A and B are shown apart, each in its own frame.
Chain A
């Protein structure tokens, strides 16, 4: 993992001291709320429905056990004993006091963490593949590039007041596990026929009220020009992005309005200019960073043998582990989606337990996934049974990865000031309806995603089944959509028709799964069946009663 040098540490420490002073001045009445609000937002401190909410950055979703333990301790010391892991691979605390915020930031800084770039119209915390450095299908480890991005983007003066927030995701595998094409910029590290590494740039994706899949803008940019290319891409956006209209201010709208070809032309022109300026960080810096991401000391004799005689363990292994690049090792997914639970929430004790497991069994590393789960990236198969037992004791051995109860849900109206409807209770009811694991496995991979408003923090556009909460004359109502996806086959969901109340939408989801079970052919997932047979049969089943009533 990357470790701060003196420069990183002093920058973060200085920021804590600055914020401490700002908070003091606010509490003393020397700053008004209008003056203070942008300052607190720059430090990840929002005001939500019940209290201040602190969003802590987890750069490219990577944590050490020491950092993870601190996240647990903060939940106990300053919050109400839990935290919420988000689709942005971050963690949010819901019950923060303003007077505590500087101390929390100081605690975070003591483990090389902060809440910078988690709000505002800047380049936000970069996200990445949660299996980076571990996955069997990886071509290039994206983490050194993600770290370079972090260093380049943090406090970048030119891009601190963009027309709107800006989210970058970077991956290095063929399989996209980071919803890369639904970001303002998605970067895929690829190899050409000559075996050289390059960056493929997808620019202009996003969710929100106008979801867009990013087109390819740069085919193959040499890694040592990645930053220059980003500078060019952002500069064009900064210059022409729609500052006049918040709803049209994201880069997706600019790329859409002027067209990918014209946007590309302008970026190339700017890129050619920037290359003459020598803005690219020196190659030595990238090499220095790469030094932090060497493979850990894997046991070359580790065995692939596994005793699967315990059936519950066998199910969990089958569902929640993923192929590792090294023999005798595997990737463990810890699901934060217990039946009837709150997606992404973990108690302080659970967080510390996961930290301990990482220290003892995963070379001190954890990852946060955009599906709101936690990953132990480098686990010896020989240790799996012990780990599973410890997880099970803590209520963390849910064997439901990528199944219908592995739901992404935003905080919704239970916590979020922008919400139109609650998301979490819908997730709870659906997971309860499909509580039987055998039934879930029968349904196979089924990604269900719920947002409490059109901002789409819960990725509903990209759900095989998506649910969007809307406000219908003061009453919560839920729109259902099918056919979204966020992998290599990224697509946007289509709305089924009129919305439902909370119980109605749970029933509709169940009816849709019945249609799938009846119509699927060998090997088809829900998404594949939907793509083959289209909306009509689903619609018929879901709205059957209304049709019968005329």
Chain B
């Protein structure tokens, strides 16, 4: 499926399009199908998000999983500093990225 991601303009945080707004958690991302371009154009115009782009992802038992490792690193945090990631208490989190 296709999902949309970007960065919060003000904080730089990685964010995902939820259908209604933006979330820091990739699990909240929704499939956008053919609407991606329209959503991106409309959201860029709000000037609260930057570097918006569409990526491939799939839904797994663990939730939404971006297809490319780079997007999974973005989704969670640096694999070498899991204490700073979105799942600081989860030792298996780095494995999800790889």
Contacts and interface: CB of A to CB of B under 8 A. Distances in A.
B79 to A, nearest CB: 6
Contacts of A96: 12
Contact of B74 (A49, A342, A474): A49
A32 B81 CA distance: 33
Contact of A33 (B51, B74, B98): B51
A99 B51 contact: no
B41 interface: no
Given A80-B84, A342-B80, A422-B79, A413 B10 contact: no
- Chain B interface helix/strand/loop/mixed: loop
Interface string B44-71: 1001001100000000000000011110
B69 A474 contact: yes
A123 to B, nearest CB: 28
Given A29-B47, A419-B70, 11 more contacts: A32-B47, A50-B12, A50-B78, A51-B14, A52-B12, A95-B84, A413-B69, A413-B73, A415-B78, A422-B79, A476-B69
Given A49-B74, A80-B84, A474 B68 contact: yes
Interface string B21-35: 000000000000000
A425 B50 contact: no
B74 A98 contact: no
Interface of A: 26-27, 29, 32-33, 47, 49-52, 80, 94-99, 342, 413-415, 417, 419, 422, 424-425, 428, 474-476
Contacts of B50: 33, 47
Ranked 6 nearest A-B pairs via Cβ? A51-B12, A414-B78, A29-B47, A52-B12, A424-B80, A97-B11
Contacts of B9: 26-27, 33, 98
A99 B80 CA distance: 27
Nearest to A101: B12
Contacts, number: 70
A50 B84 CA distance: 11
Interface in B84-98: 84, 98
Contacts of B51: 33, 47
A472 to B, nearest CB: 11
Interface of B: 7, 9-14, 44, 47, 50-51, 67-70, 73-74, 77-81, 84, 98
25 contacts: A26-B9, A27-B10, A29-B47, A32-B47, A33-B9, A47-B7, A47-B12, A47-B51, A49-B74, A50-B77, A51-B11, A51-B12, A52-B12, A80-B84, A97-B11, A99-B10, A342-B80, A342-B81, A414-B78, A414-B80, A417-B70, A419-B70, A422-B79, A425-B79, A425-B80
A414 B12 contact: no
Contacts of B77: 50
Given A33-B51, A47-B51, A49-B73, A414 B10 contact: no
A419 B81 CA distance: 17
Contact of A51 (B7, B69, B70, B81): B7
Contacts of A476: 69, 98
A33 B74 CA distance: 20
A342 B78 CA distance: 12
Contacts of B79: 414, 422, 425
Contacts of B44: 33
A386 B81 CA distance: 32
A97 B69 contact: no
Contacts of A50: 12, 14, 74, 77-78
B38 to A, nearest CB: 18
Contacts of B68: 474
Nearest to A29: B47
A79 to B, nearest CB: 10
Nearest to B83: A80
Contacts of B84: 80, 95
Contacts of A414: 73, 78-81
Nearest to A422: B79
A359 B60 CA distance: 55
Given A414-B78, A428-B80, A51 B13 contact: yes
Contacts of B47: 26, 29, 32
Nearest to B52: A33
Contacts of B67: 474
A413 B97 CA distance: 11
A50 B80 CA distance: 13
A97 B74 contact: no
A413 B78 CA distance: 8
A476 B69 CA distance: 9
B70 A49 contact: yes
Nearest to A31: B47
B30 to A, nearest CB: 22
A49 B10 CA distance: 15
A75 B57 CA distance: 34
A47 B7 CA distance: 9
Nearest to B48: A29
A488 to B, nearest CB: 34
A99 B78 CA distance: 23
A537 B77 CA distance: 41
Contacts of A417: 70
A27 B7 CA distance: 13
